[in-house]
Structures are given as C-alpha cells and as structure tokens.
Chain A
Amino acid sequence: GEDVEQSLFLSVREGDSSVINCTYTDSSSTYLYWYKQEPGAGLQLLTYIFSNMDMKQDQRLTVLLNKKDKHLSLRIADTQTGDSAIYFCAEIQTGANNLFFGTGTRLTVIP
C-alpha cells in the first residue's frame, strides 16, 4: 500500500486547539480524509478535502493541505473532552476505491 504517516499520540488541554498532522507519499491522491474512531467504535468520516484545494473549514474543524510537501493537517478549535479519540488520515487515488490509512493519532484531551 501507500505510505501515510502520522504521529501516534497528542495531548492537549480542554479549550486549546489541537493540530494533527499527516504526511503521504503518493502525488496522485485525489481525495484526502480524516476519520475519527471513538473508543469501542468503528471509524466515522469527519471531513475530506479534494486535492486541488488548500483549505477546508467545517465548524471547529480546519483541514490544510500542502500538496507540494504532501502534508495534511487537521485543526480542531476549542478542543473538548468529547474530541478524545483516534484520528486517521486516509487517501484515495484516481480511479481507485481503496483507502490507504495512516497509523492513527490518539488525541487525549486533558480537562
């Protein structure tokens, strides 16, 4: 599969902003995704960005894409304890329907 990398852990204080980073290697990626996995549950799509966009904002979530550096980030504003979860970035390539997932970043929000 393709190489999608994330740091494994991130801790932030409640009310601060969280920034979760992801790097990928395949320049033919068309869509890039952020999925959230809450404890004991499956993955749920949070947001996605098309590869010709630089930024996408959706309420407290901001996705930034640096296509030159193949770097994707997810910023969560005003992080809440309910945001504690594992966040996966994923990519899909042109003509494919297979997602390649990163290792996941476990976000812990400290009250």
Chain B
Amino acid sequence: EAQVTQNPRYLITVTGKKLTVTCSQNMNHEYMSWYRQDPGLGLRQIYYSMNVEVTDKGDVPEGYKVSRKEKRNFPLILESPSPNQTSLYFCASSREKSVPYEQYFGPGTRLTVT
C-alpha cells in the first residue's frame, strides 16, 4: 500500500530534550516536506527536500532541522524543543515535476512540549 508513515504518532516531552520524528514513504517520491498545523493558522511549511541531500527552509524553520540521506526517509529533528513547538506535525511527499503535484500526507504526530 502506498503510504507515508510517521513515528511516533503522539509524543509528550520536556523543554530542551532532543527528539526526532521519523517520516518514511514507499512511493519513490523525490519531494518531501514537513508542516506544522496550529489552530487558526492552517498548515505552515517547516522544511522541504527536492531530492536526496537537498533540503531547504520553508516558512517556519526556526528550531528545526532535517536530513535527507536516503530517498524514502525525511526525519524532523528538534534539538532543543520549546513549548511553542507544541503542535500537530505532518510529513508529506510528492513526485516532483508531476502535475498536479499531489502531496500525500502522513497521519500526523501530535507533539506536546512542557
């Protein structure tokens, strides 16, 4: 089954404790992206990657890191989480240069930072 998976689905952590949210897709997609969803703000892009070893900042990259060492995985790293990073996070992938650039979303990771 074609899908985007994220782990963990739920995470409660404390300020300053490094964490990683994993994202994996099995569709051989070139493009992957991370979003955060906050009430009243919709989805905002954190980082995206057009291909292996190519990553770029989105609209709200501060406090986050990503890596793209292989095509299928795109982990999101919070080196020192803070309470304002409490949010619902989505990973997405799409086949670059394939109109209409349909993005496939993972199920989401709900992060709470206390």
Contact = CB atoms under 8 A, between A and B. Distances in A.
Chain A bound to chain B? yes
Contacts, number: 59
A42 B107 contact: yes
B41 interface: yes
A111 B17 CA distance: 46
B74 interface: no
B109 to A, nearest CB: 10
Interface residues of A, number: 23
Contact of A97 (B31, B90, B107): B31
B90 A1 contact: no
Interface residues of B, number: 27
A77 interface: no
B71 to A, nearest CB: 15
Interface in B52-82: 58-59
Interface of B: 4, 31, 33, 35, 40-45, 48, 50, 58-59, 90, 92, 94, 96, 99-103, 105-108
Interface of A: 1, 4, 6, 8, 31, 33, 40-45, 48, 50, 88, 92, 97-99, 101-104
